[in-house]
Amino acid sequence: MRIPHRYFLPLLLACAPIHSQAAEFNLVQTDKSTLAFAYKQMGVPMEGNFGKFSVRINFDPARVNAAQAQIEVDLASIDTGSNEANDEVAGKQWFNTKMFPSAQFVSTGVKALGGNRYEVLGKLTLKGKAMDVAAPFTFRQEGAAGVFDGAFILKRLDYAIGEGAWTDVSAVANEIQIKFHVVAHAAPAKK
């Protein structure tokens, strides 16, 4: 007997128990999640990360339209790789962490892009400025965990990150790639 092609995927899904029941991933594993960034300084690829941030996610691959995400980043927890630079970016010309200790991202929607690819849209508030951002990401399940990996380019000057002499993008590039890796478990269904 031959199974028509269009039945392959539904059959496969039906056979895999983990997929038979929709699960919402909303218990974020902070210690397994990372928030990193990459940029170019004098043409040299550089990397850093934020040590402290909190993420709230509600994501059910079966109901993407209802998905939500909120991220709050403690800007003073930045590690650029050197103490000198960490002190510098906390200052007025950069994050001005005294006035603006944190950055917030609040999603306005999630789109499925096909396969395991999605895009989250939302508002990023940084240094008193709120702007729309869109970040493509992938979602995959690893055992009980849902793993989100995404990245987007933030133009630092849009948020006045690096003022005065630091607006010189030949020294520190305007484009900062923000990379997030979030691990969340599914809460047991409430219904």
Partner 1 sequence: MTTATRYTGTAISLHWLAALLIFATFPLGVYMHELALSPFKLKLISYHKWLGVTIFLLTVARLAWRATHTPPPLPKTIPAWQQRAADGVHLLLYALLLAIPVSGWLMSSAKGIPVVYLGLVQLPDLVDKDKALGDLLAGIHQVLNFGLLALVGMHIAAALKHHFIEHDATLRRMLPFIKGDQP
134 alpha carbon, distance to own chain's centre: 10
How near is the Cβ of 24 to partner 1 at its closest, in Å?
A: 38
Cβ proximity to partner 1, 41 vs 54, nearer residue: 41
Cβ proximity to partner 1, 4 vs 43, nearer residue: 43
Handedness of CA 74, 129, 152, 120 (dihedral sign): positive
How near is the Cβ of 93 to partner 1 at its closest, in Å?
A: 10
How near is the Cβ of 138 to partner 1 at its closest, in Å?
A: 27
Residues that bind partner 1 (CB under 8 A): 41-47, 81-82, 84-85, 88, 165-166, 168, 170-172
Phi first, then psi: what are they for 57, rounded to 5°?
-135, 140
Give the torsion through C-alpha atoms of 156, 158, 161, 167, to 10 deg.
80
Cβ proximity to partner 1, 27 vs 46, nearer residue: 46
* Length, in residues, of the chain: 191
Cβ proximity to partner 1, 45 vs 143, nearer residue: 45
Distance between terminal CA atoms of the chain?
40
